[in-house]
Every structure is written in C-alpha cells, then in structure tokens.
Chains A and B, each alone.
Chain A
Amino acid sequence: DAGVIQSPRHEVTEMGQEVTLRCKPISGHDYLFWYRQTMMRGLELLIYFNNNVPIDDSGMPEDRFSAKMPNASFSTLKIQPSEPRDSAVYFCASTSRTSGSIDEQFFGPGTRLTVL
C-alpha cells in the first residue's frame, strides 16, 4: 500500500512568493496532521483535520499560513507571502480511529522548503 504522499519533495522560492505544499493521506485514514520541523524549534504541530474538518489550528504561526482539506484524499498547506524564516521541513501525517492502532501516525517523507 502507498504511504502518505507529499509533493513537492523540495521547494526553493524567493521571499514574497506563494508556496503550496500538497499531501495525500493513506486511503481510509480520517485524521490528517501538518507538522513543521526546524533545528531551532524541533517538530511542531501546525494543524490537524478530522473528516476533512480543521479541528485544531492553534499551531499555525500566523495569517500567512492556511491549510485546506477539500476531500478525504487531499490537503494543502499554503504560505502567502513566504519569508526566509518559513524555511523548514514540512511533514504531513495521517491516522485513523478505526485502524488497528489509533495511536500510530504515519508520516510522509516531508517537503524541504527553502525561502531565499
């Protein structure tokens, strides 16, 4: 089975540009999480969805960040405008309340974002 799919794997952009990161969760999973990983702050939860509905966005750093989940198989994280301090690895993860182990989150390979 395919795992969590993220695209692009690497993104280099200039300050002020819009960036869109994409995630396809594992089929059948009803929870989707977006994380950001940096050397300074470690792994931070940005937002998570249940059945396509945002449940907790308290980790979203500011209004420049937005996330959507238009259907069960696709989510986006958008940064507009981007700034150099947004440079990080962004991970998407999914899990399911109905899976054998609701505790395990399955992570994608991440998108490495560099804002120049």
Chain B
Amino acid sequence: GNSVTQMEGPVTLSEEAFLTINCTYTATGYPSLFWYVQYPGEGLQLLLKATKADDKGSNKGFEATYRKETTSFHLEKGSVQVSDSAVYFCALRIQGAQKLVFGQGTRLTINP
C-alpha cells in the first residue's frame, strides 16, 4: 500500500541550528510529495511540495528534494528560528487521486 514514514520526534534544537526531518515513502506510480506544517492550535498549512523526481520544493527557508532513487523527501532548513516550532507532516498523493496519505508528524521545538 501507499505509506509515509517520518523520523520520530520530538526534535529539539537551538535557534540558528541546521534542521533535517527525514521522510521516506512507499507508493505505486509517481506520487506528488508535500510537507505540511501545523502551528499550535491551528490547522495544517502547505509548506512546500514537489510533483516529480528531482524537483525541489522551497518556502520560508525550508527545502525538500524529491529523490526517486531513495524514495525520500527530507525537509531541511539552514538556520531555524523559534517561530519554526510546530508539527511537520510529510504526505503523498498518488497521481489521479485526491487523497493525501500523511506521515505521523514530527514535533519540532526551537529554543532561544
């Protein structure tokens, strides 16, 4: 079946540290890949996406590259801020489908 696996949290970093949150997937065909972010008390928001192999999605200093050979879509940021504290979800959507399949989420806390 289709599934997404994220690194387990919680992740705690100091401000200005480098961030990586790992995400790997299993899917039939060629899925689109997404990172969503959930700030405390809010719904999920799309952070970035990539729709084909080798595409790089980027937004707000975050980046992720669609790696078909390793079936991965790791999220990175060079220098995190306290305001980046949130829960991050990796997700996929199979071509032709409307459903998103989410990973379990990774809680990130950034300390000043």
Partners in one complex: yes
By secondary structure, the A interface counts as strand
Contact indicator A42/B105 (Cβ below 8 Å) = yes
38-63 of chain B: CB within 8 A of chain A: 41-46, 49, 51
B41 touches A109 (CB 8 A): yes
- Would you give the 0/1 interface string for A17-52, flagging 1 where the beta carbon is closer than 8 Å to chain B? 000000000000001000000000011010010100
The answer to whether the Cβ of A56 comes within 8 Å of any Cβ in the partner chain is yes
Judged by a CB distance under 8 angstroms, whether A93 is at the interface is yes
B43 & A48 in contact (Cβ 8 Å cutoff): no
In the complex, identify which listed stretch (B11-19, B21-29, B71-79, B93-101) lies at the interface while the others stay far away: B93-101
Q: Which of B32, B46, B105 contacts A43 (CB 8 A)?
A: B105
Task: Judge whether B105 and A105 touch: CB under 8 Å.
Answer: no
How many residues in A have their beta carbons less than 8 Å from beta carbons of B? Answer: 20
Residue in chain B with minimal CB distance to A50? B98
Given contacts A43-B102, A103-B93, contact A93 B43 (CB under 8 A): yes
Which single member of B32, B41, B98, B104 contacts A42 (CB below 8 Å)? B104
Interface size on B, residues (CB 8 A): 19
In the complex, residue of chain B having the shortest beta-carbon distance to the beta carbon of A107:
B43
Residues on B with beta carbons closer than 8 Å to the beta carbon of A105: 44, 46, 100
Decide if B45 touches A103 in the complex (CB within 8 Å). no
Q: Whole-angstrom distance between the alpha carbons of A104 and B99 in the complex?
A: 11
- Contacting residues, chain A, for B66 (C-beta < 8 A): none
Ordered by A's residue number, 8 sampled pairs between the chains whose C-beta atoms are within 8 Å are: A31-B98, A55-B98, A56-B99, A91-B44, A93-B43, A95-B98, A104-B46, A109-B41
Enumerate chain B residues within 8 angstroms of A43, measured Cβ to Cβ: 44, 89, 102, 105
